[in-house]
Structure 1
């Protein structure tokens, strides 16, 4: 009996020991993210307990880390004198609700991806530059955002439409410019707003739509009047260019009506407010009774078509940025944005996960817009001998293409796997450091995005340096547009818009989602591959070092005017090159075509003066479309091109703004598809007819 008792005690002890060990083990994604963050910070001695690889943040009580179970929930590293950056895997910290790195010396861009479910973010009093990352637009649980006292600049994009829980926003003491975005008016929970000591311009009228109680807008360049509805709150407004005299009436639909909101209100103000509320209450009661009566009658008339309406509402949640087949796109364009505010610029983006099939990525859940990073960096080291066999010793018959820095070959293995091997010209490595190629591989392997061709491996043997990528059987956009014969199926207009948006998201990710940001320097249609669903995959990224060493740039027609040599490229040069790709999608013409008349040989020079001429524009559209396109969509597409290909770099928009413009194009075009195509007059039946007609046209053009 005693023996049995001892065994029982031992079993209970071992069970408690092992289960405690299991439950104290931190989530592996959280550990990986914190490891990356630790390696990105320079002042590591302040982070007691942290490790560069592995470890147990929850079990070992890392400095500033709080957990719930095995998940990291809070990161508080405020006022530790940290320098460097925050790393690139913060999006994996899905359980973090509080993220505070204020009062440090962190610098560079704010990472494009922050903890996606955070409620409290404080990055104030650092040295962050550039602008507010657009990915914040998807952080719908955010309640407090403090980015004050940094070195942020540029304009705020329209990113606040989904932040309905945001209570406090601080952007003070930066160098932000431009007008307040319209989505500020949708901050329905906002109580405190600090914008002082920036360079904001325009009026503040849209703030009357918010419940803000504490407002500091001192020392900006605001103009116009301070609305009466804001005069009764705690407001600091000095140092601006306000107009004199009484302010004009509030805009229609303003929700604010505070007592004492205007300094000129009479003593009868309170009674008028009470009367107004009484009238509003009576009106609401009448509307409620009418709604009940209508509902009772409508239930009798409800038919089996109700499920179609439910499906239509559900379809509004689908993502335009996801992988759609060309057959489905027209239907999705009609349903995805129906009945939405044209001013809203938010789109739900679904992340991708690797599929066993080559060149295809499947949907797997809902996360932010813009691009995704992998939680781990994987690049396989391929043996030179194996690559020689797979490419038939780099035979000419396996050559896929040739560029300024090397050649690309098709490698086919016995198990059916096919890869693309980029063999870099060995002359580009003369005089370079031995570890340069390995550094490039590491940097490229970190770049993971739904619209970027993935690096799967590398080879560095006997003076041969090669990068191995996914292989896409559909080839490049250049081949689709310029090398198809009369019997090939051309790309539909909707597919062209999808390719433009996907490519724009890829470039936006390189510019604003990478740490550090990356300038592509070689954007052209031959570097945009198409997977089996005709989704774009940008390639040749991360090789700017080699492009800078060549004596060539993209060549006439693709490179921006300021780029007289490869070293002159900037992010705005990428924007110009992307505009040229959009011109190719619009016209079906090559950037330079010597077979055309002299005035038409350079695409940009020929097309730019005509982009705002509707009659000329209709003549410019690719004849392969056979007139199957919405004219308004084409016009808006041309407007975006005109912005991108401006001669002066400073006037070109950043890629994040180009993405937003393309999103708006999709949104507005799909809402107006019926008018643009001249279809039908009835409401529901016409919308269904429009979708069927455009889908049928899409099938005729791209029925793969």
Structure 2
């Protein structure tokens, strides 16, 4: 930690010296810009970028990739999708005249810079791994026109810093974990035309936006409440689904004015209909009018008598027909006592739903868990599903049989529209209402946030009986491309996984256009936490314990690859998806969720050190899972991270660094986790190295199937136990 602090203190000094040296040697680029770009390059981990030469001239030959200059000043840095890592320096304000920074679609971590260039007009930092809060120093960017911070892991409220940003035209803060109400200064964004806030936890009213010149507004999947201002409803592109707006409260009926007798109250109001003054009717002494009224009365009486006669005749006929049908049915029962009843035909979907409900009520409840979190499906943690829906009577439901309020909120979806067998589609996963999950997670509060991964945020949820669940709230980017029926089919496939080392789904929610997956909660965290953060669990990870963890994880992948039909590719196997029970039993999360992964997930996996070489060509197969498993085994024996930018450049990527040393016993011994204190034999270490070497072969065809790995690990565990 002290070394890291010293480096952060010395870094600006080093960068300044480099900048001064390069300025004196080249004499072209403004020294302030040289210092700023050198500092940025160092904090990003000195990536290999064409033309970027430490000590060189950013605006002189050769040109630096993504750097644009006007005369001696840097005006733009465009490095979107450049596979960058590292962090951003706290101070980016040293650039003298820069107007555009685009570092989107990378793997940059840490917090957002607090000091930004006041000349900025466009700032694009979307699709990275930024955490923390949005700095309130945004107020210094008076010239800003475009701001994109979407698809990160930002938390907390939106800062009340928009008063000076009268030039801002486009802003995207979507797909984060922002909370709280919209700040009042947003009402001062008089040039704002596009605003994206979807997939956060924002709440409160929308009144602050009603006078803005918006042409596109997306606030889907938040917690906004209250009535929607009329002015917002006139926005050409307005997306608002997935919010608990108060749209069911009807306004009070307007008071009737004595001057407008023609306006009558609604017949549902229960009030008497006011009569007009007598002067508004024809003269009561008019004989013609009296005659017409009398004739109408006669005809109405005759019609009423005819209707009564017809009703009596119809009832008599129906009675006789029913009596004949009952007699005939009794005769048939005497002839064939095994005939099925015909009063509820088999093709009726309501009949199917009733049968499925009766069947599911006799089935045991299955426990399971979720991604990027820790789940605990112990046998003594089965969930009493009668406690899950406080708004409806407790009934076992294999499908979300839609209550009346859901039909109003989301009329486009009904399980009965999904096909004849829809009620049998999901047999073990239980349906949760969004209202119950909001109650159990305290409205998905920041205090209950466990973490956020590629597919969405995970929250802890406490049931009324004290049991704890983990709720994965899928991002719209992850599941938005699926229809309701496709999502249910995905849930159905996941719920069929039956293996002791694979998380079984507890439940799901498909309501108000939100998709959530519910798992059990495991308090021992992930393997990544155990190796790097949790000293208490790390002490329990002896050499034999690590071998058993590897064996259990291998068995899970073997089940997916070689037992499931068709085979299932995990496509996101890493140590943070290896979850640990209280007894260190392994549960692999995210199994079956590959269809939800975004297009850039392969680049993310490769950028994190788990990706096989073939991912560069966009190819992913079962052998790619084997490679990722080999990296996790490397982490088990070394205690290192898969990608660690704090280490020397040659050691940052764990698999690349270790591959050439796995057959050198001296080098191998030096790379073993020091916390093991030599409690292993050289023979056992050598055998583990052989398995890892086979798994991380650069050529996919040379990697063994998981069944072979399981057999080798099983032999080692039996031999060493």
TM-score > 0.5, shorter chain as reference: no
Computing the radius of gyration from Cα coordinates, the structure with the larger value is 2
Which bracket does the TM-score occupy, shorter chain normalised? Answer: 0.3 to 0.5
Larger relative contact order (CA 8 Å, sep ≥ 6) = 1
